[in-house]
Structure 1
Amino acid sequence: DPLVLENSNEWQRKEGGGGKTCAFDQGAFLEKGGINFSDVSGESLPPTALNNRPELTGASFRAMGISIVFHPNNPHVPTSHANVRFFNAKTKSEKNVWWFGGGFDLTPYYPYLDDVVFWHQQAKELCDSFEEGLYSEFKKNCDEYFYLSHRGETRGVGGIFFDDLILNDFSTSLDFCKKVMLTFTKSYFNIFMKRKELSFGENEKKFQNYRRGRYVEFNLVHDRGTHFGLQSGGRTESILMSMPPIANWIYNWVPQKGSKEDELYKNFLQPRNWLEIKE
């Protein structure tokens, strides 16, 4: 994207560690995006990290992560997000405990079934190359995680999501996370390039910004990564990098029956087995 502006900087955290943030905006095709790397440490895990591991209360930690988000200009191109992270905690008895987490998900504004099926096919191929059954488990995790309970709808069409991951050993787990990011890059840019020059008008842009409001709601209300970053004293600018550039809320809005927006609501915002759907 020749018009995109890049703003990158390294940062330090007084409690320990730091990172680098690269932000992109005002492009012809990429309205806003970012890549964030963090490597932080502390004397005790914040509450969000203890939900599934209360036995680690009071443990020192080191957390490393890479997160990517793309908010396209064209409403026909979905927003997408990916991240991988590594945690290492040391208990008071000097026991080391480690695990990986991460995943990728897709948030379309317009209902292109072939894009969604392709996205999930790529996710399944990745998971099957490591262990049969992982895709079903991680897809279910993703559907449940990216669910706005106060709206009764998913943020998008999902993908895969995993936490507390240990696949056989450290090397296998790390390799899986590397391939998560490679699969995300290949899959998303296939969709991006296919849709980025489709024509759109003011109504499509308004709907995109309305749906971006759901993205904001999820990140502030539900997202554990956002909560972890804020609770651990992370850099706020980097934590909120994933926010869309513009979002709006329209009171009591409903889509026109039979419209593409209506189709999105009816068929794309609830968990489905995308690999068994016939076009």
Structure 2
Amino acid sequence: QCSVHKPPEQGPQWRRRPGAGGARFPSWSLTTQATDGVIRGDSGPGAAAEEEVRRLCQGFMAPPVSGPQELWRRRRDMRGRMELLIMETQAEVCRALAALDRGAAFAVNTWERKEGGGGISCVLQDGHIFEKAGVNVSVVFGNLSAEAVQQMKSRKTLKDKDGKLPFCAMGVSSVIHPKNPHVPTVHFNYRYFEIEEADGTKQWWFGGGTDLTPTYLNKEDAVHFHKTLKEACDKHDPKLYPKYKKWCDDYFYIKHRGERRGIGGIFFDDLDSPSKEEVFQFVQSCAKAIVPCYIPIVKKHCHDPFTPEEKLWQQLRRGRYVEFNLVYDRGTKFGLATPGSRIESILMSLPLTARWEYMHTPPENSREAEILEVLRNPKDWVH
């Protein structure tokens, strides 16, 4: 199902979701103390709690995958709380992008996976500011394929039954490619996995991160981006940012090029300690840092003049983005190995346009050479 949704600049407006029997859902967000209470799992009992969840669901880009009643039933369960968080994050980011891009409309697709679950894909394409911006939510469950089981086993010791593992995976993921080469691309992903082993034991873990890929280096922007993420991490433990910053630099490494994809940010995976609640609170802080770490940079540069040569360099750098995503990215490989996955959502991260030139080398001491030096030798941006 697909609808076109233009988030409002002021006040509540309404949109109609196809196939929903004429039901309409308001397109503003309810990021309030009550909202946070629902996500924390400490909302009140009975009808009051159910109404809180319903009101929160009204602020999403589309009705949640699990439905308001199921989310209310699971409001104290991590699967329910995480779905609320990723839906709220999707809506918040889409509103911020649309407001910048002269109220541009997102194409909103709701999709179902016959093996279990589904998702909501929101894509803005050929806007005034953004060439392609996608924010995807998925909530899927069922049994992992043999290939996906092997990918999981490479990171965890898991006891499958006849090569199968019942699982639930949910997350919000986004890649935003602006038109202007002076505005960087941003990527974020926050996810939760739950797997049931053959003996009934459940294993769980969180993963995620936010990272920046500029075409040209702007040191002030790099400092702002990393400082904002560091502040989110420091609320929980000052040791987290340096650890996850290095992990990000190592993960987004294009081995065959000897370059990082961008100037990093934070990245973590298989996170299952100190406790489920503490990790969730950390993930929530990181998700809430997305808009403040990126949107001010877009506002600052979206109207900067640029030359055809600068646009060409942007296209060449996007070629590197494609190479990493198709060759190395763990999420892409997991999605392609999971039966019933929606390919359009998995490949949503790819730019609308990219370019490859044979043996292209930028001139010495140029701005193009400057960013290459940072990609080959990551910097500390906050000390």
Which interval holds the TM-score relative to the shorter structure?
over 0.9
User: 1:175 Cα deviation (Å)?
Assistant: 1.7
Note the C-alpha offset of 1:3: 6.8
Equivalences, count: 276
When the two structures are superposed, what TM-score results if normalisation uses the length of structure 2? 0.70
Would you say 1:48 and 2:48 are equivalent positions?
A: no
Q: 1:127 aligns with which of 217, 229, 233?
A: 233
Conserved 8 A contact 1:99-1:166 = yes
Cα distance per residue 1:182-234 (max 9 Å; x no partner): 11211100111111111102111111011000000000000000001010021
* Residue identity opposite 1:151 in structure 2: R
Partner of 2:198: 92
* Cα deviation digits, residues 121-146 of structure 1 (max 9, x gap): 11211111101211111111101100
CA–CA distance in structure 1, aligned partners of residues 153 and 347 of structure 2: 22
Higher mean C-alpha displacement, 253-262 vs 47-56: 47-56
2:121 to 21, 39, 43: 21
TM alignment of 1:258-269, pairs within 5 A: 258-269=365-376
Structure 1 distance, partners of 2:314, 2:159, is: 41
Aligned to 1:104: 210
TM-score (structure 1 length as normaliser): 0.95
The answer to which of 115-124 and 241-250 deviates more is 115-124
Task: List aligned pairs for 1:58-207, cutoff 5 A.
Answer: 58-207=164-313
Is the 2:212–2:264 Cα contact (8 Å) retained in structure 1? yes
Distance 2:353 2:103 in 1: 18
Q: Given that residues 64 and 85 in structure 1 are in contact (C-alpha distance below 8 angstroms), is that contact kept between their aligned partners in structure 2?
A: yes
- Give the % identical residues: 44
Structure-2 change in CA distance of 1:56 and 1:220 (3 Å) = farther
CA displacement, residues 58-85 of structure 1 (integer Å, 9 cap, x when unaligned): 3211000101111001100100000100
Residue matched to 2:359: 252
1:72 maps to a residue whose letter is P
**1: CA distance, partners of 2:104 / 2:353:** 17
Compare the two structures and name the one with the higher strand fraction: 1
Deviation at 1:177, TM superposition (A): 1.2
Match 2:135 to one of 35, 38, 41: 35
Q: Which moved more, 1:71-80 or 1:170-179?
A: 170-179
Q: CA deviation at 1:268?
A: 4.0
Rounded to whole Å, the distance in 2 between the matches of 1:70 and 1:64 is 20
Gaps of 5+ in 2: 1-100
Q: Which amino acid aligns with 2:156?
A: R
Q: Decide which of 325, 330, 337 is 1:224's aligned counterpart.
A: 330
SS in 2 for 1:244: coil
